[in-house]
Amino acid sequence: MPFQLFNSLSGKTEEFAPAQDNLVRFYACGPTVYDYGHIGNFRTFVAVDVLRRHLLQSGRQLLHVMNITDVDDKIIRNANQKGVPIGEYTAKFEKAFLEDMDALAIQQPERISRATENIPEMIALIQGLAKKGVAYQAEDGSWYYRISKFPEYGKLSKKDFTGLITDGSGRMDADEYEKDDARDFALWKAPKEGETSWDTAIGPGRPGWHIECSAMAMKYLGESFDLHAGGEDLLFPHHENEIAQSEAATGKTFARHWMHVRFLLVEGQKMSKSLGNFYTLRDLVLMGHKPSSIRLLLMSVPYRKQLNFTFDGLVQAANSVERLRNFKIRLETSQWAEGNNPEAAAVAKNAVTEMRAALDDDLNTAQALAAIFDLVRDVNAMADQGKVTKGDIPALLEALTKFDEIFGVLQDHDATHIKATVEWARRENREEKISAAALEMAQSASFSDADVEALVAKHSEARKARDFKTSDAVRDELLAQGIILENTKDGVRWKRK
RNA sequence: GGCGCGGUAGCCAAGUGGUAAGGCAGAGGCCUGCAAAGCCUUUAUUCGGCGGUUCGAUUCCGCCCCGCGCCUCCA
């Protein structure tokens, strides 16, 4: 079955394939770098990452563009408060965001593009709209988009705007009084006192919210491209306005397919600072939660379904990752009898087939996960019965590789990331937020594999001599460093906590 | 008010017109110097409630209850 993906534009699940060649051209709205990323942000980015990885595994090539919004009201306000240029202010959060992406094993897009580096492209787009009479300049110098010129306005958000002309109410913000119609939105904002602005052919000012995405998407992907993705809140007005701007300018379909990721709940409620359930990735890591647990939890519910992010769920996800990693370690470290068991190869192949079928079905990650757990259970059982042989291991590991090409949780880099986060917290004077659990997990990152191996060897020797007192002491010593040592009938093995 | 999504075991959650995947947790057992890891058995006569269609509905329709989202800069 070809890849099926829900399209917010048509409201239907449709086959998704690139229009030209084998290259998928897509744009995903990135962060506004005014603060550290929270788990809600990362649900969206993880979902897009799953899309990316599935397309790649399906043999597609990608041109994935993500914007970084490095100028907006909040950025200007916060930078002014700190008395630093906005570029300095945003650089810090952009760096933090990229680090967080890495911690969550989110692949980098082929191109990351900053709003402030594409001002000329935006101006050109606005000028084009002005020429067509779709953009107009208000008395204060701001430019607006005239929605009445775009009959299809509302086609993405399925809103009916007829009869909703100028509302005479007091809903309009002070800087919007110049608009001809209440629905019109800003393309270019004239500078206010103390605001960063650019001198341009259409006058001084700064970009409206939506224009950057239209300009950058078309710059790198062309006037018409395959897919546009983002959080569900962006559907209106952001994406609706992007369509209006772009299609009015070019007369062509902007993005053919639209993907929107649903918001998550935290402990059953919408995440908000006032409810006290607002968490950045860094908050959670400092509390002692591994990035891999967070990633798995974010992927465990299909992207179109509301995900209830809870601390209980985080523990469950951590245990699930443990089971998967234990399985991989077992395959890699056990002594296997010579031979081949066609049944094992069949189980491996079947699991991958099922996983991919689930992903082809609108990225059903929950079902894909089930396929891989079936493999784990079946192969563990076969191994206990001595039915797994040396010749089967490559195929089984290959299946796990295929799984991890999508889910990205088997490689254990948690300790390193936790350590980096702990160090960041110290630099930022957030020491009081560092939990004992985080410290313990960070500790094992200071222990190289060679260090561990040396102690493991010491443990094994003592054990061989049935000096359990010494062997247990070494094991406890390792545990105190965040290393778990296990003895199995097939030998000794270790892993980081 | 307009538009939309969802309510499945203790928790997370998939799914289908023919009688409920998977994960986590719990219980019992096997294995084991200990500790783990792993395996086996077990945990929803039932899928928010009430009606309807049907030989048969958790799955289709209607109503009701509950939760949630968007409706101008929050992913």
pLDDT digits over A296-331, tens only? 999 999 999 999 999 999 999 999 999 999 999 999
The domains of chain A are located at 4-261, 321-411, 447-497
- Across chain A, how many H-helices and E-strands are there? 16, 16
Q: Which range has the worst mean pLDDT, A141-150, A179-188, A349-358, A422-431?
A: A179-188
> What separation, in Å, do the N-terminal and C-terminal C-alpha atoms of chain A show?
40
φ and ψ of A245, to 5 deg = -65, -50
Nucleotide of closest approach to A485 (CA, C1')? B36
Closest CA to A295 of A313, A277, A276, A278: A313
Out of A14-18, A160-164, A489-493, give the one with best mean pLDDT: A14-18
Q: Do the domains A321-411 and A4-261 match in fold?
A: no
Residue A242 in this model has a pLDDT that exceeds 60: yes
- pLDDT for the residue A177: 54
Residue A164 in this model has a pLDDT that exceeds 50: no
Q: How far is the CA of A468 from the C1' of B34 (A)?
A: 8
Residue A287: CB atoms within 10 Å:
15
Residue A125 in this model has a pLDDT that exceeds 50: yes
Q: How far is the CA of A367 from the C1' of B19 (A)?
A: 22
Nucleotide of closest approach to A11 (CA, C1')? B4
Q: How far is the CA of A459 from the C1' of B10 (A)?
A: 40
CATH number of A4-261: 3.40.50.620
Residue range A67-93: mean pLDDT, rounded:
94
Residue nearest to nucleotide B7 (CA to C1'): A306
Residue nearest to nucleotide B33 (CA to C1'): A468
- pLDDT for the residue A382: 95
Nucleotides of B under 7 A from a protein CB: 2-6, 11-15, 21-25, 31-40, 67-75
Nucleotide of closest approach to A41 (CA, C1')? B75
Cis ω for the linkage preceding A109 (within 30 of 0): no
- pLDDT for the residue A167: 38
Question: How many CA atoms lie less than 13 Å away from A6 in the CB half-sphere?
Answer: 14
Residue A235: CB atoms within 10 Å:
17
Q: How far is the CA of A366 from the C1' of B56 (A)?
A: 30
- pLDDT for the residue A83: 93
Q: How far is the CA of A307 from the C1' of B50 (A)?
A: 29
Residue range A261-289: mean pLDDT, rounded:
91
pLDDT class of A163 with cuts at 50, 70, 90: low
Distance, in Å, from the CA atom of A151 to the CA atom of A161, rounded to the nearest integer, reads 9
CA A15 to each of CA A256, A411, A488: distance values in angstroms, whole numbers, following the listed order: 12, 32, 48
Residue nearest to nucleotide B24 (CA to C1'): A316
Query: Which percentage of chain A shows pLDDT scores above 70?
Result: 97
Residue range A431-438: mean pLDDT, rounded:
95
Closest CA to A106 of A173, A43, A59: A43
**A440 compared with A172, residue with greater pLDDT:** A440
pLDDT class of A178 with cuts at 50, 70, 90: low
Nucleotide of closest approach to A158 (CA, C1')? B3
- pLDDT for the residue A161: 74
Q: What is the mean pLDDT of chain A?
A: 92
- pLDDT for the residue A166: 41
- pLDDT for the residue A270: 85
Q: How far is the CA of A136 from the C1' of B62 (A)?
A: 50
Nucleotide of closest approach to A74 (CA, C1')? B73
Query: Per CATH, which fold does A321-411 belong to?
Result: Four Helix Bundle (Hemerythrin (Met), subunit A) (1.20.120)
Q: How far is the CA of A470 from the C1' of B34 (A)?
A: 12
Residue A172 in this model has a pLDDT that exceeds 50: no
CA A413 to each of CA A52, A404, A465: distance values in angstroms, whole numbers, following the listed order: 21, 14, 34
The C-alpha angle A353, A358, A360, rounded to 5 degrees, equals 95
Residue A13 in this model has a pLDDT that exceeds 50: yes
Distance, in Å, from the CA atom of A176 to the CA atom of A52, rounded to the nearest integer, reads 39
Question: How many CA atoms lie less than 13 Å away from A143 in the CB half-sphere?
Answer: 29
Nucleotide of closest approach to A37 (CA, C1')? B75
Q: How many residues does chain A have?
A: 497
Distance, in Å, from the CA atom of A282 to the CA atom of A290, rounded to the nearest integer, reads 10
- For residue A212 the two structure tokens come to 């950057």
Nucleotide of closest approach to A297 (CA, C1')? B12
Q: How far is the CA of A11 from the C1' of B54 (A)?
A: 30
Residue A40 in this model has a pLDDT that exceeds 80: yes
Q: How far is the CA of A159 from the C1' of B2 (A)?
A: 9
CA A33 to each of CA A198, A279, A398: distance values in angstroms, whole numbers, following the listed order: 19, 16, 38
